[in-house]
Amino acid sequence: MTASDYLRLKYTSDRHLAMTTQNAIGGVMQSARGVASDIYSGIERVSWYSSCFIPKYNDICQELKAEEIRTAYSIASIFRYRDVIAYMLYLYFKMLSDDIKEGNEEGSARKFIRDVSWLVAQFRVTGLTRYVLAESAAAALAHSDFLSKIVVERVSAGVPRAVFGLQFFGMEQKAALAARHLKAIQPDYYWILYQARLEMLYYFVEPLLAGMIKKVRETAFENMDELTDFIRDNYGV
């Protein structure tokens, strides 16, 4: 089951997801801690809505309402794309690929593409090598245990119906804050996701992309081989 499958299940049947992931992963998720964190964030977000009753804080109120709309768009996108996580990663790697050189003919980038060609076959592959690598990396990471575990930990847990609303608001709060942070540190990628109505799902790939974004901000990858080596070394794909 891929990371996108877990998201789809989450917003289709919260109870089904909880049973599936708990049986598959057991105690690794530490779900109780995650639920408490979500509920706390939910209470925080609800408290922010008090700004709607104070005229001078109307801008905060409008931002919260806009995020509600963007969340609805993003949830719809989970079902609009066959593999929404892979597509989000592809958009990031495609953005990087536009700014760096292709690797050597027999370098690590080409080898990586050959190694995951069975995954790339599931996606639309463009003609340029750099975009084929973008799709290869996106497919490999979207199907990796590394990313699946991240998404499972962020969406899984059975909660009483009385507090489900707070948990949902808590996840929305965390997603909104992650999107705001992305807008500050990587505005180009944020607006790419925004145009695709996906920015509120960045929360689910943030742990994977945060290190890569930091490295790009510090020192850009020179070529596709360097990008591939970074992916191999850090994510085990």
Residue by residue, DSSP assigns 30-98 as -HHHHHHHHHHHHHHHHHHGGGGGSGGGHHHHHHHHHHHHHHHHHHHHHHHSTTHHHHHHHHHHHHHHT
Mean pLDDT for all residues in the chain: 74
Phi and psi torsions of 223, nearest 5°: -155, 175
Joined together, the tokens standing for residue 88 give: 């989000």
Reading the block at residue 35, the tokens are: 């639920």
d(CA 104, CA 72): 43
CA distance 237 to 169: 33
Model confidence pLDDT, tens digit, residues 83-141: 888 899 999 988 888 777 766 666 677 777 766 665 555 444 444 566 777 888 888 88
Q: Residue 176: which of 29, 65, 27 has the closest Cα?
A: 65
Distance CA 115, CA 40 (A): 43
Question: Can you give the pLDDT at residue 78?
Answer: 84
What is the sign of the dihedral through the CA atoms of 37, 39, 45 and 47?
A: negative
**First CA to last CA distance, the chain:** 16
With tokens 């090598």, the residue in question is: 129
228: helix, strand or coil: helix
Tokens 């084929």 label which residue?
132
- Do 81 and 197 touch, CB atoms closer than 8 A? no
State yes or no: pLDDT of 183 exceeds 80. Answer: yes
Residue 201: both structure tokens together: 């799902």
| Gap between the Cα atoms of 19 and 146, Å rounded | 20
In terms of Cα–Cα distance, which of 169, 217, 168, 180 is closest to 14?
168
**Residue 143 confidence (pLDDT):** 81
Separation between Cα atoms, residue 57 and residue 149, nearest integer Å: 38
Quick one: DSSP state of residue 201?
G
Q: Which of 2-6, 36-40, 181-185 has the lowest mean pLDDT?
A: 36-40
Parent domain of 97: 3-235
**Number of structural domains found in the chain:** 1
Model confidence over 11-48: pLDDT tens digits? 665 444 344 433 433 333 344 445 556 565 666 666 76
- Amino acid occupying residue 205: V
pTM for this one?
A: 0.72
